[in-house]
Amino acid sequence: MAEEFTLNTGYKIPMIGLGTYLIKGTDFTDKVVDEALGAGYRLFDTAHMYNNEKYLGAAFKKMLEKHNLKREDIFITTKFVPSTDYKTEEDYHKLVQESLKNLQVDYLDMMLLHWPGVYGLSNRSKDVITYRHNAWKALSKFKEQGLIRSIGVSNFLIRHLEELKKECEVIPALNQVEYHPLCFDLELLDYCKKNGILLQAYSSLGTSGDRSLRNHSVVKDVAKELDKSTSQVLLRWAILRDVAIIPKASSRDHLVDNMNLDFDIPKNLMDTLDNMGEERLDWNPHDVI
């Protein structure tokens, strides 16, 4: 079982979870969830744009029973991007109810605003801030009602978090951002720690279909010296910074390897990884007002 972190809501979340982007189809999803539960995964991260909530919901119904587990034994996170299509609290309520129905659960452990921007608006439009905060206020209400146990954000910078703190009463429990040796913000990590927000990394191993981070010569050299895989080195690098991780994997070997992170990386090798350079591989929130 992965180590846990106690969120500012009082609920516990595993520090290691499974990202489910590109996991679709009944048979494939059943297989991955089955093997993930068997390997010890208890956190599953999805999103509206992944279009796989229904497959995951069906898989949980079958596989939790197979592994003698209950709904409360797993932590389910989903997320959505604010949009001009969502104008009222009722619009957001329908959105949450859709996820509950798809995942076949009575509550969500975590729901995130997937992006500080808004579909249908320019990233520089001041209306973005209004939509973003209205979405957050709606999630805050659903949290009070028990539909969602904890709420958080994704791809938020310090200034986005500061605006949210000034305008809204509820502080995010989690901020999910791109975080790996080529893209890490120590100032953001420090801010989140000081404000009781767990920083959770996505793209820890690079983006789907792109092995350049795992094949980077520096990562390979460190992995060889530690007798670990490059994936294990990248994931352990994050954990040693107190950053939670949700790497994607589908094969049993990779699922097991990504959980087997009980080793140390000496400071000199951490420094080596920290100085690989800078490259953002996914969304860039710096352009969002």
Which residues are annotated as catalytic?
50
Query: Cα separation of 240 and 248, whole Å?
Result: 19
What the block records as the tokens of 258 is 């990504």
Query: Cα separation of 59 and 41, whole Å?
Result: 14
Which of 69, 37, 23, 43 is CA-nearest to residue 252?
Answer: 37
C-alpha 234 chain-centroid distance: 16
